Amino acid sequence: MYGALIAIVAENQMPENTTKKSDSAEQSPLSAGRAKVTINDIARLANVSKKTVSRVLNDHPIVRAETRAKVKQIMAEQGYAPDPQARALAFRRSFLIALAYDNPSPQYVVNMQRGILDELEGSDYQLVLHPVDRSAANFSEKLERFVERHRPAGVIMPPSVSEDEALCEMLRSQSCPYVRIASRDLDTPAHMVRTHDADGAAQAARHLASLGHKRIAHIHGPKSFRSAHERLAGFKDGLKEFELELDDALTIEAGYTFDSGVRAADNLLSRSKRPTAIFAGNDEMAIGIYSSARKLGLKIPDDLSIVGFDDTPMASRIAPALTTVRLPIRDMGGEAARALLKLIARQEVTENQSFNPEIIVRESTRSLA
């Protein structure tokens, strides 16, 4: 009690009160006061203008090293951090990073979020969520409205949002930095984080072919997803290495969902000459094949080998455990955030990291005895 009282009295007697009135509120930055420390307090304490403090804050090169050190020290002493709202207003852009996504897999979405958050940690940027329904007529306008009004620092787009050229054109016209995660080079290297889906699918093909399978089917995702094309193409290429060709009659489109996987498998497995192996474009559909096979009394992997794509948690928990192709989603999110931060800081970006999938062999595949 007394300590605090004395401190206040001392404060009121200090000569700095006789200095010319600054436009900051009267407050005592040295006491453990409730009022927030502002740029004006730092400027006063360092005997410089607020503009100089601002220069230090923004790492502007033209500040004397001595001045810079002094300002930095006082900022540290006072626990000063600039107000993001004030900077946003002056900068005409906010400290929001938007994730615009439409991937239906919760595991994918959560991992992507985590990867981005890993990278944003400690920065002033906040991750805001913008789920997108690409089948809705006005989805593009909604995002545009958000960008116009909130002026985000940047936008990250995983597939299939990343494949929307009109959306990216809109972001460009708003001068909004963005990074696209996709299975093809859709943009300049600085704006791309590439995944090599085709390569992963080729690994799946080699695995099945080397086990002796010949009548191999493929259930791929919707044509509206680039990844569906890439995985199909890669799978074909992988088979070709073994002098095998993917039969069109054994190639079916489905919706990347469990139910669509069940239906596609029902179709394939009820044929007189059913395939001995199926490569599914993602794990959800692969699990659907399990369900269909069970219904028809087929044993996995004895009667049917299955390979998925994604390596969701379910893949390792289901029986028999699913052989699948894994993409490091979290790392991809991290790289996208890193790339975006560089773009925002107008740093030179030549190329970002690209990601190779890896096949995880488990129990759902076996050699055709």
Partner DNA sequence: CTGAAAGCGCTTACAG
| Rounded least distance, CB 81 to its own copies, Å | 6
Name residues whose C-beta falls within 8 Å of residue 348's C-beta, 6 or more positions apart in sequence: none
Stretch that binds its own copies, among 265-273, 290-298, 322-330, 334-342 (CB under 8 A): 290-298
The option from its own copies, DNA, none interacting with 128 (CB < 5 to 8 A, set by class) reads its own copies
- Closer to DNA at the Cβ: 69 or 368? 69
What is the C-alpha to C-alpha distance for residues 222 and 264, in angstroms, rounded to an integer?
13
Q: Is 81 in the site for its own copies (CB under 8 A)?
A: yes
Tell me how far apart the alpha carbons of residues 109 and 235 are, in angstroms, rounded to a whole number: 25
Cβ proximity to its own copies: between 132 and 179 the closer is 132
Give CA angle at 27 (5, 122), nearest 5°. Answer: 110
Report, in Å, the least distance between residue 13 CB and its own copies: 30
* Binding residue (CB under 8 A) for its own copies from 7, 30, 63, 128: 128
Report the distance separating Cα 43 and Cα 48, nearest Å.
5
Q: Does 124 sit near its own copies (CB under 8 A)?
A: yes
**Which of DNA, its own copies, none has residue 227 at its interface (CB below 5 to 8 Å by kind)?**
none
Residue 192, helix vs strand vs coil = strand
Is residue 229 involved in binding its own copies (CB under 8 A)?
no
Size of the site for its own copies (CB under 8 A): 39
Decide if residue 324 touches its own copies (CB under 8 A). no
Residues that bind DNA in the complex, under the rule CB under 7 A:
23-25, 36, 38-40, 47-55, 57-58, 61-64, 66-68, 80, 82-83, 86-87, 89-92
Please, are residues 323 and 362 in contact by the beta-carbon 8 Å criterion? Answer: yes
Q: Of 347, 340, 341, whose CA–CA distance to 193 is shortest?
A: 340
Establish if 193 lies at the interface with its own copies (CB under 8 A). Answer: no
Q: Is 94 among the residues that bind its own copies (CB under 8 A)?
A: yes
Q: What is the smallest separation between the CB atom of 36 and its own copies, expressed in angstroms? A: 8
Q: Which of 48, 96, 252, 278 binds its own copies (CB under 8 A)?
A: 96
Question: Which window, 78-86, 157-165, 268-276, 328-336, contacts its own copies (CB under 8 A)?
Answer: 78-86
Contact 289, 281 (CB under 8 A): no
Which pair of structure tokens corresponds to residue 250?
Answer: 């054994």
Question: Counting contacts by CB under 8 A, is residue 330 touching its own copies?
Answer: no
Q: Which is nearer to its own copies, 69 or 86 (CB)?
A: 86
Helix 197-210 with 226-240: angle, nearest 10 deg:
40
Residue 174 three-state SS? coil
170 DSSP assignment = H
Cβ distance 251 to 274 under 8 Å? no
Nearer to DNA by Cβ, of 50 and 220: the residue is 50
Q: Where are the beta strands (DSSP E) in the chain?
A: 96-101, 126-131, 154-157, 178-182, 192-194, 216-220, 251-253, 277-280, 305-310, 323-326, 358-360
Half-sphere exposure of 63 (CA within 13 A, CB side): 22
Residue type, 57: L
Tell me the closest approach of the beta carbon of residue 72 to DNA, in angstroms.
Answer: 12
Residues at the interface with its own copies (CB under 8 A): 36, 81, 83-86, 88-89, 94, 96, 106-107, 109-111, 113-114, 117, 124, 126-129, 131, 148-151, 258, 287-288, 290-291, 294, 313-314, 317-319
